[in-house]
């Protein structure tokens, strides 16, 4: 399955164009939007952006997306994945929007699937180092990962932590700021992942 991962558009028209161009070039089956669609609104911009993506889209809000933007995600053609689990063949997509969020338990039906997490705030200690050197990840997500061993975690929030990391069970990716042209292309087969960090000119 081919996934286009994007985040931190922050209401940038050029950032939106980057997403549309990447979809046209790479032909993903699914687009994952990891939050901060806007910079504190407006919700109309978020709804228009998500409705313009003509591919199945899972989206969550970021800390810069107020409740009105969360409502816009619900109105759009995208699927709001926050605190939800969506089954997609052998995969289970699980979403956590915003920051300082709580995680949800998974049933045995879900844990038998290959789990893909879409979160705005990264897990503590992984792709979460801010410019001042502090770790600003979510400890609850770290515990969730330790318990359920997802195959893939897509996160954002920490602009300076764009990258890919792997441990024994999980691959982690921060696609970077779409408003600066950054995104990630992910090919996942079972638990095996192949990730490219890419950039379009702004």
Residue located via tokens 């087969």: 189
- Calculate the average pLDDT of the chain: 98
What is d(CA 156, CA 5) in angstroms, rounded to the nearest whole number? Answer: 10
pTM: 0.97
Q: How many domains does the chain have?
A: 1
Q: Where are the alpha helices (DSSP H) in 39-161?
A: 43-51, 67-75, 108-111, 139-148
CATH code of the domain containing 77 = 3.60.21.10
Q: Where are the alpha helices (DSSP H) in the chain?
A: 13-26, 43-51, 67-75, 108-111, 139-148
150-176 confidence digits (pLDDT tens) = 999 999 999 999 999 999 999 999 999
Q: Which domain holds residue 17?
A: 2-199
Q: Taking the mean position of all CA atoms in its chain, how far away is CA 41?
A: 19
DSSP, res 180: G
Q: Which of 49, 41, 43 is nearest to 15 (CA)?
A: 49
**What is the mean predicted confidence (pLDDT) over 98-126?**
97
What is d(CA 5, CA 3) in angstroms, rounded to the nearest whole number? Answer: 6
33-78 confidence digits (pLDDT tens) = 999 999 999 999 999 999 999 999 999 999 999 999 999 999 999 9
Report the half-sphere exposure of 106 (CA within 13 A, side-chain side). Answer: 27
171-195 confidence digits (pLDDT tens) = 999 999 999 999 999 999 999 999 9
């Amino acid at each position: 399955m081919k996934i286009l991962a994007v985040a931190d558009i922050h209401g940038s028209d050029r950032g939106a164009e980057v997403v549309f161009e990447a979809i046209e070039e790479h032909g993903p089956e699914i687009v994952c939007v990891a939050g901060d669609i806007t910079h504190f609104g407006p919700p109309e911009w978020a709804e228009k952006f998500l409705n313009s993506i003509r591919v199945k889209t899972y989206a969550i809000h970021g800390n810069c997306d107020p409740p009105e933007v969360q409502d816009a995600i619900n109105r759009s053609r995208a699927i709001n994945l926050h605190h939800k689990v969506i089954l997609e063949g052998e995969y289970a997509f699980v979403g956590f929007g915003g920051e300082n969020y709580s995680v949800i338990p998974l049933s045995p039906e879900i844990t038998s699937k290959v789990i893909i997490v879409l979160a705005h705030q990264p897990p503590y200690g992984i792709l979460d180092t801010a410019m001042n050197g502090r770790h600003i990840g979510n400890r609850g997500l770290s515990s969730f990962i330790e318990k359920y061993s997802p195959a893939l975690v897509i996160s954002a929030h920490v602009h300076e932590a764009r990258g890919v990391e792997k441990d024994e069970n999980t691959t982690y990716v921060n696609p970077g700021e779409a408003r600066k042209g950054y995104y990630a292309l992910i090919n996942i087969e079972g638990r095996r992942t192949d990730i490219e960090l890419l950039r379009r000119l702004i």
